[in-house]
Amino acid sequence: MSTQQNAAAEWRGYWYLPFVAALGYATSVIHVYTIGPFIGPLQTEFGWSRAEISIGLTVSSIISALFCIPIGMLVDKIGPRRIGLIGVVLMTAAFALLSSASGSISNWVLLWTCIAFATLGVQATVWTSAVNSRFEKSRGLALAVTLSGASLSAAIFPLLATWLIGAYGWRMGFVGLGAAWAAIVFPFLLLFFRGARDQSSKAVPVPAKVLTGLTLSEGFRTFALYKLLLAAGLFSFTAIGALVHFVPILTGAGTTRLEAASIAGLIGIFSLVGRLGTGFLLDRFSAQKIGALAFMLPVIGISLLLLDASNHLYQSIAAATLGLTVGAEVDVIAFLAAKHFGLKNFGSLYGAMVMALSLGTSFGPLTAGAVFDHYGSYAPFLMLNVVLMTLSAITLLSLGSPPAQAAAEVVS
C-alpha cells in the first residue's frame, strides 16, 4: 500500500481525533494568549507593574515545567484520555478563579499556582501522544490540526476577553471565558478523545499495537534531546514573551486597545496557516530545515516594529510573521521528537521538550515586562528576540539523523 493510501486510511479511521485534541490543546494556552488584554485593567485596578502582572505566568510555567516529565510518564502508563478530561475541568476552573484577585501579589501568585497544577492535565504531551499513536504516514498534518488549537486561542480569546472586559469588567472576563470554554470542549472530549493506549468503551476488537522507540536512558543520552531542549526553550522565551505583550507593545505606540486586540488577532489567524502549512511540509521535506526557516520568520516582523512600532502595516506584518512561527513551533518540536525518539516513551521524552517550552514561557513574558518597567520601552527585549530566534534556528539545523531504533515507530 502506498504512503498516500496509508495516510488516507489513517484519516478515515481517526479523522475526528486531531480536531477534538485541538480543542483540548487550546485549553492549555488560554491563560497565555488571553492575559495581554487584562494587563491594562489590572494595572488600573491595583497599580501593579507589568512585571508584577507577568510574574503569575512565570510562577505557573515554572511549576508546571517541573512536572512535565512525570506527567509524560503517566500518559505512557495509563493513556491520555483520563488525564485530558480531568485537566480541562481543572484548567477552566483555575482560569475563572483569577477573577478573585484581591490586589495582593501573594494572592495573585497563589491563583497562578492553581493554574500551574491545572495545566499539567492539558499540556501538549497529552494531546500529541494520542494523535501520534493513531497517525504515522500523515503525522505532520495530524499534529498540525491538533496544535492549531493554540491558533484558535490566539485568534478568538484576545478579542473575546477585550469585549468581555469592556462590557462587564475584567473579573467577568476571566469567569466568562473559563465557563464558556469548559461547556464547549468537555462534551467533545468525552465522546471522541481516545489514543491507542486508552481502552475503548466499544466491544469491538482493535488491532494490537506495539509502540517502539528509544528507552528513557537512551533518549537522555542523545545529543538531539538537548539540542531540541535548547531550541524549544530559546524560542518560547522570545516568541511567547512578544506574544503576551503584543497588545501593550502596540498600545504603547499609540494604537487604541481595541485596534491592538484586532491586530493581535492576526497572530491566531496566521498561526493556523502556519500550523497547517508546516504540517503539510513536514510530511514531505526535511523537518530540520522547515523548522529553522519557520523560527527565523518573526525576525522580519520584529525588525519592522523596532523601525516604527506605530505603523499599522508593520504591526500587521509583525503579527502575521509571529503567528506563522507560533503556528509551527510546537509542531516542529513534536514531529522531531517522535522522529528521533520513537513512540515507546514519547510521553516521557516529549515531556522534557514541554518542560523547556514551559521554562521559556515562564521567563519570556516576565523579562519583557521587566525590560519595559526599567527602560520604558520594549525595544531591548525585541532586539534580544532577534538574536535568540536566530540561535534557535541554527540549533535545529545542527540536528543529526535519528537513531535506527526510532525508525520503526508503530508495529501492528
Helix residue spans in 98-169 (DSSP H): 105-119, 124-134, 139-168
| Enclosing H/E stretch for 210 | strand 210-211
Mean pLDDT of all residues in 278-296: 83
Question: What's this model's pTM, rounded to 2 decimal places?
Answer: 0.66
Residue 68 has pLDDT above 90, yes or no: no
Q: How far apart are CA 62 and CA 66, in angstroms?
A: 7
C-alpha cell at 41: 485593567
What local confidence, expressed as pLDDT, does residue 206 receive?
43
pLDDT (average), residues 91-103: 93
Is residue 122 within 8 Å of residue 165, measured between CB atoms?
Answer: no
pLDDT tens per residue, range 370-387? 898 888 888 899 999 899
The pLDDT of residue 409: 46
**Cβ distance 406 to 350 under 8 Å?**
no
Domain ranges of the chain: 14-199+208-411
Nearest one of 60, 27, 74 to 351, comparing CA atoms = 74
CATH 3.30.365.10 fits 14-199+208-411, yes or no: no
Structure confidence at residue 286 as a pLDDT band (50, 70, 90): confident
pLDDT average, residue stretch 86-92: 94
Sign of the CA dihedral running 63, 69, 72, 74: negative
- pLDDT > 80? residue 217: no
Q: How many CA atoms lie within 13 A of 267 on its CB side?
A: 31
Predicted confidence band of residue 3 (pLDDT cuts 50, 70, 90)? low
| pLDDT for residue 19 | 92
CB atoms within 10 A of CB 150: 28
Tracing cell 475563572 back to the chain, one arrives at 96
What's the whole-number mean pLDDT along residues 200-220? 58
**Do the beta carbons of residue 140 and residue 331 sit within 8 Å?**
yes
Please report, for residues 83, 247, 307, the alpha-carbon distance to residue 95 in angstroms, rounded to integers and kept in the order given. 18, 20, 36
Mean pLDDT rounded to a whole number for the chain: 83
